[in-house]
Structure 1
Amino acid sequence: MEDQISPGLLLRELRSQPPLVHCITNFVAMNIAANVLLAVGASPAMVHAEEEAGEFAAIAGALTINIGTLSSGWMRGMEAAASAARECGKPWVLDPVAHYATGFRRAAVDRLLELGPTVIRGNASEIIALAGGSSRGRGVDSHDGVEQAEESARLIARAHGAIVAVTGVVDFVTDGLRAARIAGGSAWMPQVTALGCSLTCVVGAFAAVRPEMPFEATVAALATFAVAGETAASRADGPGSFSWRFLDALAALDVASLDHQAKVFAA
């Protein structure tokens, strides 16, 4: 591990060679996720059809899968893409949105976990439930605190050999041994539809830059989001103005500002 690698360094690398990020995300998130990726400096592609998802995953820098608006056809595309990413050694990120809500969703996540995600990103309720615990989640909303999910995250990371990111007021990232917390962001972020889903795509972008360092890449992605969120909130009047100001803050974020403002702590 390169202890001194910084979020700013990874952001510089991302922007110097913008990665193609293959996003299989939900209908609600497609537009905002694409705009967020463009703002951070990556190249988004929204490709979910089973007839081409596997082929496309093989040429992308990274794959992200979000089960928010799940269907049987999309699930087949997800499996094809994840299988191709694994075969080609490409990092891929799983966002198990409300996987505890129905049997269909639970079965889908079980199948995707078998395909070895590089990173799993979810809210506290999703991560607690994924580890077999009892969460207070309702639909896509988390009613558990990040700190309550930290041990669940470590268990999942060790069981699946993945990086696990729990996002909330203070984010938590672990590989089962190492761990970090990332502070920042804004209370308005949960009030803007699909920002969490967009964060999953940004994690994929940073993982594409340093596929051999998924822990550091995930921390950098979360730090980037947190700093942009703080900046946008300082100028916004509410969730509406925060939404477009967040995109502007991402696009304007420079390496020095990111490293100066990032609040990353060993856990």
Structure 2
Amino acid sequence: MEIREKICTGLKLIKEKSPLIHHITNYVTVNDCANIVLAIGGSPVMADDSAEVTEMVGFASALVLNIGTLNTRTIESMLIAGLKAKELGVPVILDPVGVGATKLRTDTADKLIRELKPEVIRGNMSEIKVLAGLEAAIKGVDSLADEHGSSVVAKKLAIELGSIIAITGKTDVVSDGSQVCLIDNGHRILGDVTGTGCMTTSLVGTFCGATKDYYTAAVAGIISMGLAGEIAHASLRHGEGIGTFRARLFDSIYNLTPEILAKEGKLNYE
């Protein structure tokens, strides 16, 4: 089955199954992440207390961990939930937001990767470079790194960590260590709205909750956000800006169909 067909099947499965996606995520974007999962057809839960995460993971189809607003309490919860997920065969999707900006973020990301071995790691170029042990320019939690060599970095890190590596940027890159997919959907305005990266990770998690093909799931989640960004931007009228765009981004995800994914997805392979 060709990857476009697999992506379309993944969206259909989400609509049929409405997989429960357990998040331990950051408080800046938690509401947006919940709503984007609902918009595509999944069912989000945002439980982060150590007293309930083990039980909650038992109900989940995927676990999304996001280190955007770290604290010692949620770090503990991520580890507890992640270990239970691995025991149950629930895929773990990691978003290492701002890794490299502080020692806490870097140490936490390293520990989560080492102990949980996430099925998918989704980050921007700076974040992935830090995980790969390369120099990267960052500003707060934003990437200042260019995308030169992103395919090589993604493929090498995927082999090293045994995870699907997804780098989002002007051209998105997904690799499982043997194959590399390049995605050219999206619009620069996505970078002007807080949380689009986090929401992309939630979409990846939702697809992972519907299929065991995590490489295709990563491509599907990223292409869904890129296409939604294009559609939402194209709908803007004179005088409308990022507030209207943000609302229409959710509408575009809600109205996404397998036919749109198949026809409008811009995929290349290396």
Q: TM-score, normalised by structure 2?
A: 0.95
Is the 1:170–1:183 contact (alpha carbons within 8 Å) kept by the matching residues of 2?
yes
Q: Can you give the 5+ residue segments of structure 1 that lack an aligned partner in the other structure?
A: none
Is the 1:125–1:149 contact (alpha carbons within 8 Å) kept by the matching residues of 2?
no
Q: TM-score, normalised by structure 1?
A: 0.96
Q: What SS is found at the alignment partner of 1:223? A: helix
Q: What SS is found at the alignment partner of 1:249? A: helix
Quote the residue 2:21 is aligned against: 21
Quote the residue 1:3 is aligned against: 2
Q: Can you give the 5+ residue segments of structure 2 that lack an aligned partner in the other structure?
A: none
2-side partners of 1:38 and 1:112: how far apart?
A: 27
Quote the residue 2:192 is aligned against: 191
Percent identity over the alignment? 36
How far apart are 1:128 and its partner, in Å? Answer: 0.6
Q: What SS is found at the alignment partner of 1:151? A: helix
Quote the residue 2:159 is aligned against: 158
Q: What SS is found at the alignment partner of 1:6? A: helix
Quote the residue 2:174 is aligned against: 173
Is the 2:151–2:180 contact (alpha carbons within 8 Å) kept by the matching residues of 1?
no
User: RMSD in angstroms over aligned alpha carbons?
Assistant: 1.2
2-side partners of 1:194 and 1:15: how far apart?
A: 23
How far apart are 1:227 and its partner, in Å? Answer: 1.1
Q: How does 1:39-50 map to 2 (within 5 A)?
A: 39-50=39-50
Q: What SS is found at the alignment partner of 2:188? A: coil
Listed one character per residue, the Cα deviations across residues 203-242 of structure 1 (whole Å, up to 9, x for unaligned) are 111011112x110111111111111111001012321111
1-side partners of 2:156 and 2:17: how far apart?
A: 34
TM superposition outliers: structure 1 runs of 4+ over 6 Å: none
- Judging changes above 3 Å, is the alpha-carbon distance between structure 1 residues 188 and 12 closer, same or farther for their aligned structure 2 residues? same
How far apart are 1:110 and its partner, in Å? Answer: 1.3
Amino acid at match of 2:2: D
How far apart are 1:266 and its partner, in Å? Answer: 1.0
Listed one character per residue, the Cα deviations across residues 130-153 of structure 1 (whole Å, up to 9, x for unaligned) are 100001122211111234433222
Is the 2:159–2:177 contact (alpha carbons within 8 Å) kept by the matching residues of 1?
yes
1:266 matched to 2:262: no
1:253 aligned to 247, 252, 256, which one? 256
Q: What SS is found at the alignment partner of 2:101? A: coil
Amino acid at match of 1:105: R
Quote the residue 2:130 is aligned against: 129
Q: How many residues align structurally?
A: 265
1-side partners of 2:95 and 2:138: how far apart?
A: 15
